[in-house]
């Protein structure tokens, strides 16, 4: 969601009526940092699904 807000903040003009979410440049940087951090943490702490069950020979 933060990366979507970041893209929206880059795409919309800050003074236009389309800016219904009050965003500024500092918000854009914050949303980028939070989005990248959350994606990185999700990848880092994701569990591996290739664990073999106990008792298998392969």
What is the per-residue pLDDT for 22?
81
pLDDT for 29 = 94
Environment class of 9 (CB within 10 Å of its CB; exposed 0-12, middle 13-18, buried 19+): buried
**pTM for this entry:** 0.70
Q: pLDDT of 18-56, one tens digit each?
A: 888 888 889 999 999 999 999 999 998 887 666 666 666
Burial class (CB in 10 A: 0-12, 13-18, 19+), 42: exposed
What local confidence, expressed as pLDDT, does residue 15 receive? 85
């Amino acid at each position: 969601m933060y990366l979507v807000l970041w893209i929206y903040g880059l795409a919309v003009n800050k003074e236009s009526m389309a800016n219904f979410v009050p965003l500024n440049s500092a918000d854009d940087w914050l949303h980028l940092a939070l989005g990248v951090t959350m994606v990185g943490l999700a990848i880092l702490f994701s569990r591996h699904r290739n664990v073999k069950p106990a008792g298998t020979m392969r």
